[in-house]
Amino acid sequence: MRTFIWDLDGTLLDSYKTIVDGLYDTYKEYGIELNKEEIHEHVITYSVSSFINKMTGVTGISFDEMKKRYSEIGEEKKKEIRLIPGAKETLKALSDRGDKHYVFTHRGKSTESVLKQLDIYDVVDEIVTSQSGFARKPEPDGINYFVDKYDLNRKNVYYVGDRTIDMDCAKNAGVNGILYLSENSYCKPNGSETFIVNELSDIVLL
């Protein structure tokens, strides 16, 4: 039996357009026009919080104010989120073999409702989000939590993500890293990953 710990945005969830549009609309309300391509690249390379923090230095608008408004707009847009092609089928194929699924994501309180909306909530045994109190990736605390709680063999644990920060997190935790590189990915592999796949279904073949 193997254990798969999944990132969400850009890995199981086709949500970057929603995220980028949400940030764009948030700042537009304040009269600030942004470049969506630049938002996209920053969010994939770092995080939403990193982008808002960077913009705080530029605009002088507090991080908390912008994060709150972005979360409100994101809540309105979450119905637009779709699954990455092959996500549900891959999860099912792995589950049918007896493999277990967990989630470690920087996504916040919307996580549970989005997974239910997309009908993959029941296949996941436990979820760690930004609200769980663990250090953010690439710190390995979220992965280590699952390893310790379920007494997992790190050789049989795979963290699946679409960014370098995910692979660095896997490496720091001493588990396998599976880098999902979609056709439009901004990610450049840096050697932290154990495997690279271009389709989620390829994971079943590993």
- Residue 46 pLDDT: 84
Q: How far apart are CA 81 and CA 79, in angstroms?
A: 5
- Residue 169 pLDDT: 97
- Residue 75 pLDDT: 86
Same domain for 116 and 36? no
Same domain for 136 and 118? yes
Query: What is residue 57's three-state secondary structure?
Result: helix
Tens of pLDDT, residue by residue over 49-100, are 899 999 999 899 999 999 999 999 988 888 899 999 999 999 999 999 999 9
Query: What is residue 176's three-state secondary structure?
Result: strand
Same domain for 132 and 194? yes
Structure tokens at 29: 């309300």
For residues 117-130, give the mean pLDDT: 96
Closest-CA residue to 69 (of 41, 30, 35): 30
Domain limit, last residue, from 80, 110, 135: 80
**Domain limits for position 164:** 3-14+81-205
- Residue 186 pLDDT: 78
Express as a percent the part of the chain with pLDDT over 90: 83
Which CATH number characterizes residue 88's domain?
3.40.50.1000
Q: Which residue has the higher pLDDT, 188 or 175?
A: 175
Quote the number of domains for the chain. Answer: 2
Same domain for 123 and 76? no
Same domain for 156 and 139? yes
Same domain for 74 and 168? no
- Whether 184 has a pLDDT exceeding 80, the answer reads no
Q: How far apart are CA 79 and CA 177, in angstroms?
A: 30
Which CATH number characterizes residue 58's domain?
1.10.150.240
- Residue 99 pLDDT: 98
Q: How far apart are CA 72 and CA 54, in angstroms?
A: 20
Question: Is the bond preceding residue 138 a cis peptide, omega within 30 degrees?
Answer: yes
Confidence of residue 3 (pLDDT cuts 50, 70, 90): very high
Same domain for 73 and 106? no
Q: How far apart are CA 76 and CA 94, in angstroms?
A: 32
Positive or negative: CA dihedral 133, 135, 136, 141 = negative
In the block, residue with structure tokens 């154990």:
194
Same domain for 138 and 52? no
Whole-model pTM? 0.91
